[in-house]
Structure 1
Amino acid sequence: MSIPASMSLSAVGVVGAVNECVTLFQWAKSAIPSLYSRWSGSQEQILQDHVLQLESGLQRLRDTLPAIYDLVNKAEWRSHEPVVAKLLPNLKDAVAEAEDLLDEFGWYEKKVQVEGNASQSSFIDFFHTVVQGSFNKLNDVQLRLNHLSNMGLRGVTRCFDKLVRPETTSLPNETKIFGRDKELKQLLGFLNVPTISKRKRATKTSSINASASNHVSNESRALDLPVLPIVGIGGVGKTTLAQHICSHQQVKSHFELIIWICVSDDFDVKRLTKEVIQSCTGNEATSDNLDSLQRALSNHVNNKRLLIVLDDTWDDALKENGQCWKRFCAPFRSALDGSTMLVTTRCPNVSQGVRTMEPIIVEGLKDDIFWNFFKLCAFGSEGSNSDPELEHIGKCILPKLKGSPLAAKTLGRMLSMDLQASHWNSIRESELWELKQEETDILPALRLSYMYLPFYLKQCFAFCAVYPKDYKFDKTLLVEIWAAEGLVDPQGGIPIQDIGYQYFEDLVTRSFFQKISSRYVIHDLLHDMAQMVSKQDCCILRNKSDLDKVPQNVRHLYVLPSSEFDDSSLLRLCKYTKLRTIICKKDLKKKAGFVMSKWCTKLPRMRVISCVSTDELPDNIGNWKHLQYIEIVKARPLKKIPSTFCWLYHLQILYAKNCRLESLPDGFSKLISLGKFESVGLTYYDGRRMCLGHTNKCREFTLLKNLNRFRGHLQLIDVRVLSKDHAAEADLKNKKYLHGLKLDMGKPEDHAIYYHGLYIPNNDIEVVEVLQPPLSLKSLVLKYYDSISLPSWFQPKNLTSLKSLTFECCFQLGSISPPASLEKLVIKDCPNLVSIGGAKAVAKIKTVEISMCPKLKEAEQINKISRLRDWRHRREIAKLIGK
């Protein structure tokens, strides 16, 4: 299904959630007669009407939400206006209410799938709670969305606000440039500008222009105009650097024409061509025909050495698969060799798409130089005559600004308004995003980068504001949480995690994340910007006083491990009933279960919960119908997982990596959305693999009993430590979705039994006998199996779907009879194997690999058949089989 440009991917996910409820309403309509058989026909009809009204109400919500998402996206472009700034949080809140309502219907849909007609209580719960309870809620949500969407935002369009980013010119705003000597020298070298004399010029160090040289011939044309990007985040000084290049005396002498174009977000070839012509001639181009304009431009730049600067270039330059950019550049081929184009951009993908030489990366100013610049901004002078106390406070503020010249100007202006220590300290103690800023200050400037993201990437990045500064992100974990929050939407059969990875990489290419070793961080100023755009949704609690600053409609909370927090302070979170996320780094120890129990009662919309440790999950955890992600960080036995845990039909991920589970509740297989589950001795990735073992304890194997819905490949390690009874509890035969099974018995010497110095073989066959796999099994690996014969279930009638079979290091095994369905057979290091049923038995197997089986007389013959596996060698294979 194609997605309209105006429709966010999140809207597609919500619409899908509504469509999934079709089964729910079919079930509800059919359940009414059987449930209310004693009622009169009119009473039954009233209930049927209620169900129909509810169904049609959800349909209307499905029709409304895509437009509302688009409206939220557009409203953000005008959020600097006071009226819109006040309206936007309410609009987002109404959308979140709708999402929560739809998510609740999705939970009932899954409940029906799991329980079907088995439980009359599920009927009663649905009719009393949903039909009679949610109908009014649905109407309220719909009315609120309609009301907010009619408050003057319908005509809003995405546009580049000149108040936020005024048009630039080639004339520097600053008379002096700080700390850019290295970059200026690089640029002069790339431009081949003579810095000493006309006979001695700097060498162009990096260009794909084949005709580049130290001297420019008056007869040489530029086959392709060299393009040098200047790249950096907003406010770092890219434009200032380009302006000083254009004003450099040697540059002005070297180039016949210097053209400055402020591109912004509208890369319109016709408009830009007209502006270049006007810059060349001083006269406005009157033609509206692109061909005429480009021919005129080609004539104007013909045989001239020119420098053209495209300032503030965005992704729009790469539209039409780069054809738009090539069209714009075409007229400049008539310019002289030595001509160059500078492109300033905050988008690395733009730099990658247009460059012909390595970009110049502009980063924050170095500490000493930055301090001098900051003093100029705050005190009006670089001198050291300022107040020592203010200087001390200024040096404490400086690290917040990360070397950004625009950030220094922003804070410098605020500080210079009042040269009192109290004023400076109030700014020092504030978060940068909390300070009121002008439209041309640092955070509004950085906010433009956010505004140009697709809506679904905006949501993902804004969510990251819940994490503290300098947080080191693990890509996999963050993507999983995005998915749990509903920020990553399905696209056909593509795994949702792969879609989330693509989201993440898109943000990396736009410089919203920076890679540090194997983790990722967000630049401090971008983090401040993220907090600014999500201040109503995300909150970080550093100490008790922060509890008083939490917005009432907050949805995501991060609790730092402050010593000030205790169970009573964290119980105060119960009043924020719209919370979806709590990441709590404070270890409440024995109080953790009590606090979580209160949260389960008061915070019904939770989707993500991460806590340091708990030894039990509360009995009322089933209240969290929306819950999709649970993480318990520290090592502690998780003694109790209540039966109500099995009501979490939305749950996708359970991380208890350092916890030892004693058992799983009987209904654990009802968790039909569970895709990932990790604890000590168990890793479970549904659809891929599950691994159990690496421990001498048997209890992990009992966890398999209630994992019958697992689909994928199961690996059992150290199977030999199991008793027959423990192995039987795994109940493999009833795991009908199991595709692959690896039974690693453990090295015989690790579990060897000796009697009077003689080795007694392990009786593996008894354990493996009760580990019979389902008929659906497609792949089987048996390793370190230490018995002469195979279990009784190893027969063709029990392995009808088996395609791949591997025996490895089965030292006692004497013979094998491969199933007829087999396509691949691998046998390694089975020294006592004497027969696999003859060459005729394996002739139809596509791939056969046999090694280190000295007693297997058929091995050479079978391997030769495998090498000859080709229609051209049918006769030779037939002869070998005949032998």
Structure 2
Amino acid sequence: MSLPAIGIIGAINECVTLFRWAKSAISSLHSRWSGSQEQSLQDGVLLLESGLQRLRDTLPAMYDLINKAEWRSHEENVTKLLPNLKDAVYEAEDLLDEFTWYKMKVQVEGNASQSPFTDFYDTIIQGSFNKLSDVHSRLNLLSSHLENMGIRGVAQRFDKLVRPETTSMPNETKIFGRDKELKQVLGFLNIPTNSKRKRAISSINASTSASASNQVSNESRISAIPVLSIVGIGGVGKTTLAQHITNHQRVKSHFELIIWVCVSDDFDIKRLTKEVIQSCNGKEATSDNLDALQRALINHVDKKRLFIVLDDMWDDAMKENGQCWKRFCAPFRSVQEGSVMLVTTRCPTVDEGVRTMDPAILEGLKDELFWNFFKLCAFGSESSRNDPELESIGRKIIPKLKGSPLAAKTLGRMLSTDLQASHWNSILEHELWELSQQETDILPAIRLSFMYLPFHLKQCFSFCAVYPKLRLQI
């Protein structure tokens, strides 16, 4: 059971105590009313209690509906309805808080004193029943509309339209400030600096010596493929670094087979296995039988020195207590020693669950390196021969971006469309999330991190975002 649902049930239980007191107070003060008035009051209390019980049954389902609708929030119809449903749920929670407050007031001021009951009668019985009915009506109407759109059955992952597929081809011709990380990863891959020359020598020997050929083909296999992870927040450059590693000449010379698979938040073993097979032979695998697919994959990777990149892995990979991950990796036991799997992820649970060696941690770009990258994005050049006034404004924008390369690209593109100081100042003074952005820009890129938060933490996130100083720390 989710934390919000537990909190709601706890609040309802507190309200039950309140209604017991109300019924007792009505009976103890019966001399103030006629028999019909007393009965009317008791009926009002019963109706309120019944309404709150219905709310107990409804709200947990509304939390689930909101969670599922957020995965489709890029659709226009859902975008219009979702804020209204959230508003109705928050109103219901406020109403429950109000009942809880009166329960505490009764405990403090006395179980049967007139003052708290008068307040209870005026505010709750006379006013809150109408509020409760309105909330129920709104919840029913909005949830009905969303369910008619098929929200209940939606898979909790983003459409490919929202999460573009990555490839091994670098989008950026130059990589900034990652020399240390690049050297670290190449070291983890155990690639000799003169691997190209060794391979050439090996080829010569293979053509002149049958025994040498047999020695190469019989190199020891491994019990499990080593896994190296590149870890960092969204937009920090994990994919870009992986692309440059994949296309590094030493990597291409060292490994017989290089494969790139974009995983994203859909860790489907059959889909991924099919994509690996297609990378090997260029043909689409048609079978839907996992055993047949894995046997076909073994034939392609058997005795080969393999480098495989699994880009943008999420917690979905760790489902079934990690058994899905183990099933996916099973065919790679037949690869040659020296093979490596590289995983990029922003999820600590994925990093801890898959890596077999220390991870490469990617943080934001620092100081002048980040400034040079920002200038390239905003001016199209790292040159110092740019407008001094614009450079001054750019220097003030830089701290807002927290070293994020994707943020620099997003803001840089916006700035480059108009090289006027007034335009740059307007962006400097704007909140980043209020700026118009494309589907692959910085906020959509980190949105998936928000989507994987539990519902109660999403509410906490929204609450903190109201306060400017807290926003800077989120």
Q: What is the distance in 2 between the residues matched to 1:74 and 1:312?
A: 21
Instruction: Report the counterpart of residue 447 of structure 2 in structure 1.
Output: 447
Determine the structure 2 residue equivalent to 1:173: 171
Q: Deviations over 1:682-729 (max 9, x none)?
A: xxxxxxxxxxxxxxxxxxxxxxxxxxxxxxxxxxxxxxxxxxxxxxxx
The aligned counterpart of 2:5 is 11
C-alpha distance after superposition, 1:73-99 (max 9, x if no partner): 223333344544443333222222111
What secondary structure sits across from 1:37 in the alignment? helix
Conserved in 1, the CA contact under 8 Å of 2:307 and 2:341?
A: yes
- Residue 868 of structure 1 corresponds to none
Deviation at 1:378, TM superposition (A): 1.2
Judging changes above 3 Å, is the alpha-carbon distance between structure 1 residues 93 and 257 closer, same or farther for their aligned structure 2 residues? same
CA distance in 1, matches of 2:72, 2:414: 24
| Within-5 A mapping of 1:488-499 | none
- In 1, the alpha carbon distance for the partners of 2:279 and 2:434 equals 42
Matched, 1:254 2:266: no
The equivalent residue for 1:225 is: 225
Q: 2:59 pairs with 48, 65, 81, which one?
A: 65
- SS of the residue corresponding to residue 304 of structure 2 reads coil
Q: 1:319 maps to what in 2?
A: 319
| Deviations 1:400-425 (CA, angstroms, capped at 9, x unpaired) | 21221111110011011111110011
Task: Name the CA shift for 1:301/1:129 in 2 (closer, same or farther; >3 Å).
Answer: same
Deviations 1:195-215 (A, max 9, x none): 2355789xxxxxxxxxxxxx9
Letter in 2 for 1:405: P
Shift of 1:118: 4.3
Amino acid at match of 1:182: K
Query: Does structure 2 retain, via aligned residues, the 8 Å contact 1:216–1:337?
Result: no
| Structure 2 Cα separation of the partners of residues 388 and 220 of structure 1 | 61
Which ranges in structure 2 are unaligned for 5 or more consecutive residues? 200-214
1:47 maps to 2:45: no
Q: Which amino acid aligns with 1:296?
A: A
Q: Aligned pair in 2 of structure 1 residues 365, 123: CA closer, same or farther (>3 Å)?
A: closer
Correspondence 1:408 to 2:432: no
Q: 1:446 to 1:37 in 2, by over 3 A?
A: same
Aligned to 1:536: none
How big is the shift at 1:311? Answer: 0.2
Task: Give the match's secondary structure for 1:262.
Answer: strand
SS of structure 2 residue aligned to 1:192? coil
- Kept in 2, the 8 Å contact 1:276–1:297? The answer is yes
SS at match of 1:151: helix
Aligned counterparts of 1:111 and 1:318: Cα–Cα separation in 2: 47
CA–CA distance in 2 between the matches of 1:364 and 1:114? Answer: 53
Give CA-to-partner distance per residue, 1:439-491, whole Å, 9 cap, x none. Answer: 2111111111111122223223333324545x6xxxxxxxxxxxxxxxxxxxx
Corresponding residue number in structure 2 for 1:383: 383
Partner of 2:159: 161
Paired residue secondary structure (2:229) = strand
Q: Deviations over 1:18-40 (max 9, x none)?
A: 12222322332333233133543
8 Å contact kept, 2:81–2:146: no
1:122–1:365 CA distance, 2 compared to 1 (3 A): closer
Q: SS of the residue aligned with 1:312?
A: strand
The C-alpha deviation readout for 1:260-286, integer Å capped at 9, x for no partner, is 111111112222112111111212222
Rg (Cα) greater in structure: 1
Q: Pairwise mapping of residues 390-405 of structure 1 onto structure 2 (< 5 A)? A: 390-405=390-405
Please say if 1:110 is aligned against 2:104.
yes
Over residues 233-288 of structure 1, what are the superposed CA-to-partner deviations in whole Å (9 max), with x where a residue is unaligned? 11111101111111112211211111111111111222211211111121222222
Name the residue aligned to 2:191.
Answer: 193
Distance 2:396 2:26 in 1: 69
**Any idea what the Cα deviations from partners look like across 1:778-803, whole Å, max 9, x if unmatched?**
xxxxxxxxxxxxxxxxxxxxxxxxxx
Q: Report the Cα distance in structure 1 between the residues aligned to 2:25 and 2:273, rounded to whole angstroms.
A: 68
Q: Residues 725-874 of structure 1: matches in 2 within 5 Å?
A: none
Alignment of 1:871-882 (within 5 A): none
Counterpart Cα distance in 2 of 1:64 and 1:27: 25
Query: SS state of the match for residue 259, structure 2?
Result: strand
1:811-858 deviations in whole A, cap 9, x for unaligned? xxxxxxxxxxxxxxxxxxxxxxxxxxxxxxxxxxxxxxxxxxxxxxxx
Alignment check: 8 A CA contact 1:163 1:440 kept: no
Map of 1:513-524 to 2, 5 A cutoff? none
* Superposed displacement of residue 163, structure 1: 3.4
Task: Return the letter of the residue paired with 1:233.
Answer: I
CA displacement at 1:138 relative to structure 2? 1.4
Distance in 2, matches of 1:463 and 1:38, equals 45
Q: Quick one: structure 1 residues 380 and 38, their matched pair in 2 at CA, closer, same or farther if it must change by over 3 Å?
A: closer
Q: 1:179-578, aligned counterparts within 5 Å?
A: 179-197=177-195, 218-469=218-469, 527=474
* Structure 2 counterparts to residues 598-677 of structure 1, below 5 A: none
The answer to whether structure 1 residue 101 and structure 2 residue 99 are counterparts is no
Structure 1 residue 369 displacement after superposition: 2.2
Residues 71 and 28 (structure 1), Cα distance of their counterparts in 2 relative to 1, 3 Å cut? same
Preserved CA contact (<8 Å) 1:75 1:153: no
Q: By how many angstroms is 1:294 displaced? A: 1.5
Q: Distance in 1 between matches of 2:300 and 2:398?
A: 48
With 114-123 and 338-347 compared, the bigger mean Cα shift is at 114-123
Number of matched residues? 455
Structure 1 residues 216, 108: CA separation in 2 closer, same or farther (over 3 Å shift)? farther
- Asked whether the 8 Å contact 2:273–2:293 carries over to 1, the reply is yes
User: Higher helix proportion, which one?
Assistant: 2
Amino acid of the residue matched to residue 65 of structure 1? L
Q: Does 1:23 align with 2:17?
A: yes
In the TM superposition, what is the alpha-carbon distance from 1:353 to its structure 2 partner? Answer: 1.2
Q: CA RMSD in A?
A: 2.3
Distance across 1 between alignment mates of 2:374 and 2:428: 14
SS at match of 2:146: coil
C-alpha displacement of 1:71 = 2.2
Using a 3 Å threshold, how does the CA distance of structure 1 residues 337 and 217 change in structure 2: closer, same or farther? farther
CA distance in 2, matches of 1:134, 1:462: 27
> Which stretch has the larger CA shift, 243-252 or 333-342?
243-252
* 1:356 partner letter: T
The CA distance in 1 between the partners of 2:47 and 2:307, in whole Å, is 67
Structure with the higher strand share, 1 or 2: 1
2:84 to 87, 90, 95: 90
Shift of 1:371: 2.0
How far apart are residue 232 of structure 1 and its match?
Answer: 0.7
Q: For residue 445 of structure 2, what is the amino acid of its counterpart?
A: A
Match of 1:594 in 2: none
Is the CA contact (8 Å cut-off) linking 1:35 and 1:123 kept in structure 2?
no
Look up the match of 2:211: none
Question: Conserved in 1, the CA contact under 8 Å of 2:217 and 2:303?
Answer: no
Write the deviation string for residues 380-438 of structure 1: whole angstroms up to 9, x where unpaired. 22223322221221122122212211111100110111111100111111122221211
Confirm or deny: 8 A CA contact 1:378 1:411 kept in the other structure.
yes
Which SS does the other structure have where 1:220 is aligned? coil
Q: Which residue of 2 aligns with 1:147?
A: 141
The 3-state SS of whatever aligns with 2:145 is coil
Assess, with a 3 A threshold, how the Cα gap between structure 1 residues 251 and 114 changes in structure 2: closer, same or farther: same
Structure 1 residue 367 displacement after superposition: 2.2
Aligned pairs (5 A) from 1:672-751: none
**Higher RCO by CA contacts (8 Å cutoff, separation 6 or greater):** 2
Distance 2:266 2:451 in 1: 14
Q: Which residue of 1 aligns with 2:127?
A: 133
Measure the CA separation in 2 of the matches of 1:454 and 1:118: 41
Counterpart of 2:273 in structure 1: which amino acid?
A: T
For 1:142 and 1:62, the matched residues in 2 are separated by 11
Q: Distance in 2 between matches of 1:216 and 1:73?
A: 53
CA distance in 1, matches of 2:222, 2:307: 12
> Deviations for 1:155-197, whole angstroms, at most 9, x for unmatched residues?
2232223333210111111122222222221122211223235
TM-score for both structures, normalised by structure 1? 0.49
